Structure 1
Amino acid sequence: MIVEDSLVVRRLLNHIISRDPRLTVVAAVASAEEALQELPRVRPDVISMDIRLPGMDGLEATRRIMAEQPTPIVVIADSVEDSSLRISMNALRAGALSVVEKPVGMETGGHERVSETICTQLYIMSEVPVIRRRMMAGFRAAPPAAPRPEPAARQPAALLGIAASTGGPPALAQVLGALSADFPLPVLLVQHMGAAFMEGFAKWLGGVVPLPVALARDGETPRPGHVYVAPGDCHLMLAPQGYLRVTKDRPVASQRPAATLLFRSMAETLGPRGLGVLLTGMGEDGAVGLVQMRQEGAFTITEHESTAVVYGMPAAAVRMGGSSISLPLPLIGPRLQQLARASL
């Protein structure tokens, strides 16, 4: 189902989606109110949601849909307007699964890329079991299986690396939001998201967590208590000399930024003094890097299946032996705070 108030954009989205053999448009409406009315009738597998709508906006519509009839939602947003970006990020926090750039016309450069991204995201997100996740939202996870024993004497951590993909923004907000303003470690962060949204994502995250957040710059020296976000379409790594490397090196397993490159650089540079966290996301990015960190003696955390929107990346790390412990999302931040205190 397409929810878009602009007739021109609604028709363009209809055209784009109708060309994809994986997808069928079952409804195209101009307001959130119409979407809520049509939802029980057409029961779509996935919703394309505009943010700026007449009457009820896309954020409130997302909240209502997730409360009344949970359905995968992909936010289609204007990438250049700060207020739209802020609403889009809050929609992700309210339950939307991803955000992609709005198409602006058939003649515009990059149209085919944007079109392919929209269709691929709609198709992939249609498979995410949000109903099961919603049912588990109030469920207190049983204690995870006991992890393999870790060395009793552990070197203090020097830096935290954290990565996420689908479902990442709200998960990151929860984890980093649980850290104190005087958190003693630098934080390097990889989030899979369209390049156009990364600056807005960093600004939004900085507004909801106690730590200062900014896009990483090549050659910068990471400071304690600061969060450095991989810029759009760039890898983020830690150089052996301790400064940040931001590069356009080729994608790894179709990902740029790649969590595996971040974790691998931490394994090589910090050894047992690295601290790695892998959260919700599709695919396996980060798993191999987390294995390397753990082999070097670092402590690694994966998000437990009970809270992960998509248990793909964490599951791969657990399967490969890269996870020291799996924790439900609410427990990860407090554990990081505890580990950081032990580093002082």
Structure 2
Amino acid sequence: MTKKRKVIKILVVDDSPVALIILKRIFATSPEIEVVGTAQNGLEALKLIPKIEPDVICTDLHMAFMNGLEFTREVMHEYPRPILVISNSVQEHDTENVFQLLEAGAVDVFPKPETGLNSDYDAIKQELINKIKILSGVKVFTLHRRQINQERQQQLFIRNIQDKLVKNYLVDTPKTILKYPRSAKNIKVLAIGASTGGPQALKTILHNLPSTFPLPIICVQHISNGFLNGLINWLANGCQLPIKIAISGELPKAGVIYFPPEKHHLELDNRGKFVCSKTPAIGGHRPSITVTFNSIAKFYGSSSIGVLLTGMGRDGADGMQAIAQSGGLTIAQNEATSIIFGMPKEAIVLGAAQYILPINDISQKLLMIINN
């Protein structure tokens, strides 16, 4: 007997009656999705959520009384759920809006067709439905309004490291333990890969690294075209390390964070200099995390650290295995703190992750290893 597939219940919030009609019509074409409620602003929607218990929320950004950003913050504090922001104001040039929404807790954004015509909505119908299906399986976390001031956070962070050093800090590890690099002093590079949920995860790690961090950091983040500069600017606000786009022929410098150019793989040549290429996508990705990790493993070997964060699919898993097999250190984000546990899980299944850590512990572990 075939098991009945669970219907994804969604709440649609938009102050445009026309947009509400079109979105409802789009979602009605999928037997796996049911619109269980609509609202014209955030205040109306907040009252509905406990009554209809939606699995996913779709919201516009600009609305009267309570806009999409304010609404997202309230939802993530009171009724945390996956939120997709569907708006005219999350286009490629609206990077500030996009990253404010991601920081507030939205999982993804989806630009409305700029014309608003039915025919244009039809063109993006399947893409929008696919996003809803993906978001229905996403794990979200309550975001609390009260934040400790930055100085207090730094004090607690340093004290936490010291306490864990004294207690010989142990972490949840897979049964197969890979060989630890012979000396932490020999480590020369840190590579980080991420996909869905990655911007928030990267921010958590990078913002907790000091200005004296002694390694180059090479990051690969799957992100829509046109948003890379916005991501870099967003991460740079509050980060103690400079962040830039890698340039072919450039030698990675200690204490600098690098990202590949859009639509380019990032590798190293036999002298350790960057190579930015438009060779074919791997697993649908360019840049590919595995391509970068493989190159890191080949050049740096046991002098490398590879970190694989939240993301859908398996990009980076084989690359992390290459780093592990070369004698490097590997860390995977754990399931409990991953928005999507796809990529880290695949690396763990391969036996490629030496440490499996909550996102808030990864920067601490890196500093402990490097400071030995």
TM-score range, shorter chain: 0.7 to 0.9
CA distance, structure 1, for counterparts of residue 369 and residue 243 of structure 2? 21
1:98 and 1:220, CA in 2 relative to 1: closer, same or farther beyond 3 A? Answer: farther
Which residue is 2:363 aligned to? 333
CA distance, structure 2, for counterparts of residue 110 and residue 261 of structure 1? 36
Q: Partner of 1:188: helix, strand, or coil?
A: strand
Question: 2:307 touches 2:330 (CA, 8 Å); kept in 1?
Answer: yes
Q: Partner of 2:34: helix, strand, or coil?
A: coil
Moved more, 22-31 or 53-62: 22-31
1:314 and 1:272, CA in 2 relative to 1: closer, same or farther beyond 3 A? Answer: same
CA distance, structure 1, for counterparts of residue 40 and residue 286 of structure 2? 35
Offset of residue 267 of structure 1: 0.9
Unpaired stretches in structure 1, ≥5 consecutive residues: 136-141
Which residue is 2:76 aligned to? 66
Which residue is 2:311 aligned to? 281
Which residue is 1:309 aligned to? 339
Offset of residue 128 of structure 1: 2.0
1:11 and 1:205, CA in 2 relative to 1: closer, same or farther beyond 3 A? Answer: farther
Q: What does the per-residue CA deviation read over 1:161-198, in whole Å, with 9 as the maximum and x for residues that have no partner?
A: 10111221111111111100121212111112211322
Question: 2:181 touches 2:302 (CA, 8 Å); kept in 1?
Answer: no
Which residue is 2:172 aligned to? 144
1:302 and 1:40, CA in 2 relative to 1: closer, same or farther beyond 3 A? Answer: same
Letter in 1 for 2:179: E
CA distance, structure 2, for counterparts of residue 297 and residue 276 of structure 1? 11
Question: 1:163 touches 1:259 (CA, 8 Å); kept in 2?
Answer: yes
1:209 and 1:24, CA in 2 relative to 1: closer, same or farther beyond 3 A? Answer: same
Which residue is 1:99 aligned to? 109
Which residue is 1:217 aligned to? 247
CA distance, structure 2, for counterparts of residue 89 and residue 119 of structure 1? 23
Offset of residue 18 of structure 1: 3.7
Which residue is 1:169 aligned to? 199
- Is it true that 1:193 corresponds to 2:211 in the alignment? no
Question: 2:181 touches 2:329 (CA, 8 Å); kept in 1?
Answer: no
Moved more, 322-331 or 305-314: 305-314
Question: 1:99 touches 1:193 (CA, 8 Å); kept in 2?
Answer: no
Q: Partner of 2:110: helix, strand, or coil?
A: strand
The correspondence for 1:294, drawn from 315, 324, 338, is: 324
Question: 1:51 touches 1:76 (CA, 8 Å); kept in 2?
Answer: yes
Offset of residue 247 of structure 1: 2.7
Letter in 2 for 1:227: I
Question: 2:308 touches 2:316 (CA, 8 Å); kept in 1?
Answer: yes
Which residue is 1:123 aligned to? 133
- Is it true that 1:258 corresponds to 2:288 in the alignment? yes
Question: 1:74 touches 1:97 (CA, 8 Å); kept in 2?
Answer: yes
Question: 1:101 touches 1:196 (CA, 8 Å); kept in 2?
Answer: no
Unpaired stretches in structure 2, ≥5 consecutive residues: 1-10, 144-169
Question: 2:312 touches 2:343 (CA, 8 Å); kept in 1?
Answer: yes
Letter in 2 for 1:150: K
Q: Partner of 2:219: helix, strand, or coil?
A: strand
**Aligned-residue identity in percent:** 34
Question: 2:113 touches 2:120 (CA, 8 Å); kept in 1?
Answer: no
CA distance, structure 2, for counterparts of residue 6 and residue 268 of structure 1? 54
CA distance, structure 1, for counterparts of residue 362 and residue 327 of structure 2? 19
Question: 1:14 touches 1:25 (CA, 8 Å); kept in 2?
Answer: yes
TM-score after normalising by structure 2 = 0.79
Q: What does the per-residue CA deviation read over 1:37-62, in whole Å, with 9 as the maximum and x for residues that have no partner?
A: 22233322211233333332322211
- Is it true that 1:207 corresponds to 2:237 in the alignment? yes
Moved more, 209-218 or 194-203: 209-218
Structure of higher CA gyration radius: 2
Q: Partner of 1:27: helix, strand, or coil?
A: strand
Which residue is 1:138 aligned to? none
The correspondence for 1:242, drawn from 262, 267, 272, is: 272
1:86 and 1:316, CA in 2 relative to 1: closer, same or farther beyond 3 A? Answer: same
Which residue is 2:8 aligned to? none
1:49 and 1:223, CA in 2 relative to 1: closer, same or farther beyond 3 A? Answer: farther
CA distance, structure 2, for counterparts of residue 264 and residue 111 of structure 1? 40
1:106 and 1:96, CA in 2 relative to 1: closer, same or farther beyond 3 A? Answer: closer
Question: 1:173 touches 1:208 (CA, 8 Å); kept in 2?
Answer: no
Question: 2:245 touches 2:261 (CA, 8 Å); kept in 1?
Answer: yes
Letter in 2 for 1:73: I
Which residue is 1:41 aligned to? 51
Q: Partner of 2:186: helix, strand, or coil?
A: coil
CA distance, structure 2, for counterparts of residue 212 and residue 255 of structure 1? 26
Q: What does the per-residue CA deviation read over 1:316-335, in whole Å, with 9 as the maximum and x for residues that have no partner?
A: 11110111211111111122
Letter in 2 for 1:191: Q
- Is it true that 1:272 corresponds to 2:302 in the alignment? yes
Question: 1:14 touches 1:28 (CA, 8 Å); kept in 2?
Answer: no
1:152 and 1:106, CA in 2 relative to 1: closer, same or farther beyond 3 A? Answer: closer
